[in-house]
Structure 1
Amino acid sequence: MLLVYTHKITSRLSYVFKHICVRILGVEVKFTTVVEEFIAHQGLKMSYTKQPLGKELFVQSHYLLFEEGLTDVSIKIENWNATKCFFRVGEKSSIPFDIFAASFYLLSRYEEYMPYVADDFGRFPPEESLAYRYHFLKQPVVDIWAFEFKKILQSYFHDFEFTARKFQFQPIIDVPVAYKYAHKGFIRTLGGGLKDLLGLRFVDLYNRSSVLFKLRKDPFDTYKWLINNHKKRGFKPIFFFLLADYSNYDKSINHNNKHFRTLIKYVGDYFEIGLKGSFLALDDKEILKKEKLRFEKILNKPLQSSRNSFSKLKLPHSYRNLIDLGVQSDYTMGYVSEVGFRAGTCTPFYFYDLDYEMQTPLKIYPFCVLDYIFRNTEAKSALNQLQPIVNSVKEVGGVFSMVVHNYTFSGTAIWGSWRKLYVELLDFVKTD
């Protein structure tokens, strides 16, 4: 156990130390404001305050973890070893930066509470982020900083043995539209066929007819292939199905369709199933509640995991709605247009509500890659870009989490090489 002496124990301090020490480094942590208790402790210990007590392991604290509310925080990005950091502290500190305050800034998504220019879907774009502007988005910096801290601990406490973290791969399978042609009902099927005909899309009309007359498999029906390839390598993806009413944004199969329900249950026999919250549900908790009830009726179990359509998040409201409905895990934290670590970490973490100054029970599973970024990209080129990201996560024993869609493996024009790419990526990730 690591004992931390500080002049004030706050929710922010407890939150970020537990993420770095417990979840990343596997070291239990306890806090004290009593000097005598700190001096008497015989194991791992450090002081985190304004001035050292003596010659102990000391990290000088930035004010961020001891305040409440939001302020315009002054940040200067500097190089540090093979990465970057901010919140530089004095020379007496064993670490030149307050990595705990810097980690809190990224994990809490502090910058997303401040004014920013949203994209067309109202999302926080990567270009507005500190990590993108200063070129450390593609590094899990919080985990890298934690391992730098681990080196310092090892230099002070030679006999302490750390538990090694094991790298994990977490595939996220997004299913916004379960089938391209099949099981859409008479009106939608007729309308789709007429659009193909009037638009002179004869290849689409032929493919649609072939599926409807059961002469070929629906191109979006890639579930068996996905199940087999993950099972073969021992990976456990989580599938997110959309159960929304039809709208301009969400064009899922009707949630009452027996074939669609059978599909969800079939996939659920092999892997975990979550709810893909609709676009309209993002701003309306009642709609989200309705979709949650549909999910629970189909699978006969409580909803535990969710992911938002279009990877849209509006903090803190999106996460508060999930908490109010009893959802335990969310898989939306990431960017749709850039590869990287939106919250700076490749380790699942709990949502910290800055308005209420508290850690919530909602666990966030951040993703660092979305397949859409690599549409129309040759398999070899995409793999060359993905491998360094995987390696950066392997170096810190983190979780490499990637979002792909069922239609990504349909063989259609923009996704032509993706089956080959994904199999190669699975094999690369599997390699120690």
Structure 2
Amino acid sequence: MLLIYTQKVTPRIVYTFKHICSNILGISVKFSTKIEEFIAHDGMKMSYGKQPLGNELFVQKVDLLMEQGFSEVEIKVQPWGNSFCFFPLPETSALPFDIFAASFYLLSRYEEYLPHVKDEAGRFPAAESLAYQEGFLQSPVVDVWAYKFKEVLEERFPEIEVGKRSFSSRAVIAVEHVFGYRNKGFIRSFLGMHIDMFHLHFGKVFDRIRVLFRLKKDPFNVFEDLIEIIKSYNLKMLFMFQLSDFTVHDRNINHNRMPYRSVIKYVADYAKVGLLLGYYALDDFRILRREKLRMEDIIHSPLEYVMNTKYDLNLPDCYNNLNELEINHDYSMGYPHTPGFRAGTCTPFLFYDINMEVTTPLMVHPYAFNSAAADILSLEDVQRLLGNMMQEVKGLGGHFNAVFKNQDFSEYFDKELNYSFLKQIYEIE
């Protein structure tokens, strides 16, 4: 156990130290504001303040973890070994940077509370982030800093026992459209066929007819193929199904249709399933609750996992709604078209609400890769970034999550390429 002295124990300090020390390094921590207790402690200890109390391990702090709310923060990113960091400290500190304040800035998504330019879909874009602008978006710097802190601890306390982590990876399949042609209704099928004819997509017209007459399997129904991979290699995979009402934003089929429900139940027998949030569920608590109940009615168990891959996260309101409905796991933390670590970490972390200054029960599982990035980046860039990120996460014993759509593995997309990405993520030969 590591005793940490600080003049005032704030929620931000507890949150950040527990993520770095406990979640990443596996070291239990205890906080104290009493100098007498700290001095009398014979075990491992460090102080986090403006100046050391004696010859203990000392890390000087900046003010961010002592503040409340949010305001403009002056940040100057500097190199630190083969990484980067900010909030520099004087030589009296055991660390040259306040990694705790810097980690809180990234984990809490502090910059997303500040004024910024949104993209065409109303989202916080990767280009507005500090990590993208300073060139460290593809590195889980919070975990890198934690391991640098581990080296300092091991040098000062050779007896310290640090937990060992093992690398894990998971593909998350976002299912907005279970079927491409089936169960769309006469009007939608009729319009879709004429649109394909107008664009001279005669192959799709022929496929639609064959699917509607049950002469061919629907091209988006690739779930048997994915389940076969899961069973063959004993993989962990997560499927997110959309159950929202039909709107201009969400165009899935009616959630009450038995073929749709049957697919969800079939997948749930072999993998974890969750809810892909609809556009209006992000802002309207009643709609979110309705979609949650729909999923629970199908899978006959409490909903644990949700994801939003297309729309604005709208922090902290969307996450607070998930907390209120006791949904415990979110997989939305990433950039749809830009590979990288949006929150700077490859370790699941609890969401911290800056408005309320409280650590919430919601566990955020960040993803580093979305197949949509292949629509913008070259194949060489995607393969290089994916390989580099996985290699670094593997060295840190972290978690690597990647997002795909079910149609990525259909005949209308480059399914061979996406299967190769899937195999690379799971390290399948």
TM-score computed with the length of structure 1 as normaliser: 0.95
Q: C-alpha separation between the residues in 2 aligned to 1:347 and 1:232?
A: 27
Name the counterpart of 1:383.
383
Q: C-alpha separation between the residues in 2 aligned to 1:280 and 1:369?
A: 25
**2:309–2:336 contact (8 Å) kept in structure 1:** no
Q: Give the 5 Å matches for 1:288-299.
A: 288-299=288-299
Q: C-alpha separation between the residues in 1 aligned to 2:262 and 2:419?
A: 28
Amino acid of the residue matched to residue 115 of structure 2?
A: P
Amino acid of the residue matched to residue 20 of structure 2?
A: I
Name the counterpart of 1:313.
313
Aligned CA distance change for structure 1 residues 231 and 376 (closer, same or farther; 3 Å)? farther
Amino acid of the residue matched to residue 127 of structure 1?
A: A
Q: Give the 5 Å matches for 1:7-406.
A: 7-375=7-375, 382-406=382-406
**1:88–1:96 contact (8 Å) kept in structure 2:** yes
Q: C-alpha separation between the residues in 2 aligned to 1:179 and 1:6?
A: 57
Q: C-alpha separation between the residues in 2 aligned to 1:234 and 1:38?
A: 49
**Per-residue Cα deviation, 1:86-121 (whole angstroms, up to 9, x for no partner):** 000111000000000000000011100000000111
What SS does the aligned partner of 2:310 have?
helix
What SS does the aligned partner of 1:238 have?
strand
**Per-residue Cα deviation, 1:210-258 (whole angstroms, up to 9, x for no partner):** 2222222211111111122233333211110000111121111210100
What SS does the aligned partner of 1:220 have?
coil
**2:277–2:307 contact (8 Å) kept in structure 1:** yes
Amino acid of the residue matched to residue 43 of structure 1?
A: G
Amino acid of the residue matched to residue 114 of structure 1?
A: L
**1:383–1:425 contact (8 Å) kept in structure 2:** no
What SS does the aligned partner of 1:344 have?
coil
Q: C-alpha separation between the residues in 2 aligned to 1:87 and 1:255?
A: 50
**2:170–2:426 contact (8 Å) kept in structure 1:** no
State the Cα distance separating 1:427 from its structure 2 match: 4.8
What SS does the aligned partner of 1:298 have?
helix
What SS does the aligned partner of 1:314 have?
coil
Amino acid of the residue matched to residue 421 of structure 1?
A: S
Aligned CA distance change for structure 1 residues 419 and 78 (closer, same or farther; 3 Å)? closer
Q: C-alpha separation between the residues in 2 aligned to 1:380 and 1:114?
A: 35
Q: C-alpha separation between the residues in 2 aligned to 1:65 and 1:99?
A: 11
**Per-residue Cα deviation, 1:274-300 (whole angstroms, up to 9, x for no partner):** 111101221222211111111111112
**2:409–2:419 contact (8 Å) kept in structure 1:** no
**1:77–1:84 contact (8 Å) kept in structure 2:** yes
**Per-residue Cα deviation, 1:267-326 (whole angstroms, up to 9, x for no partner):** 001111111110122122221111111111111222111112505301111111111222
Q: C-alpha separation between the residues in 2 aligned to 1:177 and 1:190?
A: 18
Amino acid of the residue matched to residue 83 of structure 1?
A: S
Q: C-alpha separation between the residues in 1 aligned to 2:65 and 2:422?
A: 44
Aligned CA distance change for structure 1 residues 313 and 216 (closer, same or farther; 3 Å)? same
Amino acid of the residue matched to residue 7 of structure 2?
A: H
What SS does the aligned partner of 1:417 have?
helix
Q: Bigger shift: 386-395 or 244-253?
A: 244-253
Amino acid of the residue matched to residue 99 of structure 1?
A: I
**1:275–1:295 contact (8 Å) kept in structure 2:** yes
Aligned CA distance change for structure 1 residues 226 and 381 (closer, same or farther; 3 Å)? farther
Q: Bigger shift: 172-181 or 289-298?
A: 289-298
What SS does the aligned partner of 1:92 have?
coil
What SS does the aligned partner of 2:359 have?
strand
Identity over aligned pairs, percent: 46
Q: C-alpha separation between the residues in 2 aligned to 1:404 and 1:63?
A: 40
* 2:421 is the counterpart of 1:422: yes
**Per-residue Cα deviation, 1:349-371 (whole angstroms, up to 9, x for no partner):** 11101011000111111111100
What is the root-mean-square deviation of aligned Cα atoms in Å? 1.7
**1:261–1:298 contact (8 Å) kept in structure 2:** yes
Q: C-alpha separation between the residues in 1 aligned to 2:54 and 2:123?
A: 48
Q: C-alpha separation between the residues in 2 aligned to 1:377 and 1:34?
A: 54
Q: C-alpha separation between the residues in 2 aligned to 1:315 and 1:128?
A: 15
**2:46–2:58 contact (8 Å) kept in structure 1:** yes
**Per-residue Cα deviation, 1:399-428 (whole angstroms, up to 9, x for no partner):** 001001100011324x24324423541453
TM-score computed with the length of structure 2 as normaliser: 0.96
**2:169–2:426 contact (8 Å) kept in structure 1:** no
Amino acid of the residue matched to residue 318 of structure 1?
A: C
Q: C-alpha separation between the residues in 2 aligned to 1:129 and 1:237?
A: 29
**1:312–1:332 contact (8 Å) kept in structure 2:** no
Amino acid of the residue matched to residue 420 of structure 2?
A: L
Q: C-alpha separation between the residues in 1 aligned to 2:93 and 2:422?
A: 47
**1:336–1:372 contact (8 Å) kept in structure 2:** yes
Structure 2 runs not aligned, ≥5 long: none
**1:240–1:274 contact (8 Å) kept in structure 2:** yes
Q: C-alpha separation between the residues in 2 aligned to 1:198 and 1:86?
A: 55
Amino acid of the residue matched to residue 204 of structure 1?
A: K
Q: Bigger shift: 247-256 or 32-41?
A: 32-41
**1:329–1:363 contact (8 Å) kept in structure 2:** yes
**1:351–1:363 contact (8 Å) kept in structure 2:** yes
**1:239–1:273 contact (8 Å) kept in structure 2:** yes
Q: C-alpha separation between the residues in 2 aligned to 1:358 and 1:60?
A: 24
Amino acid of the residue matched to residue 214 of structure 1?
A: R
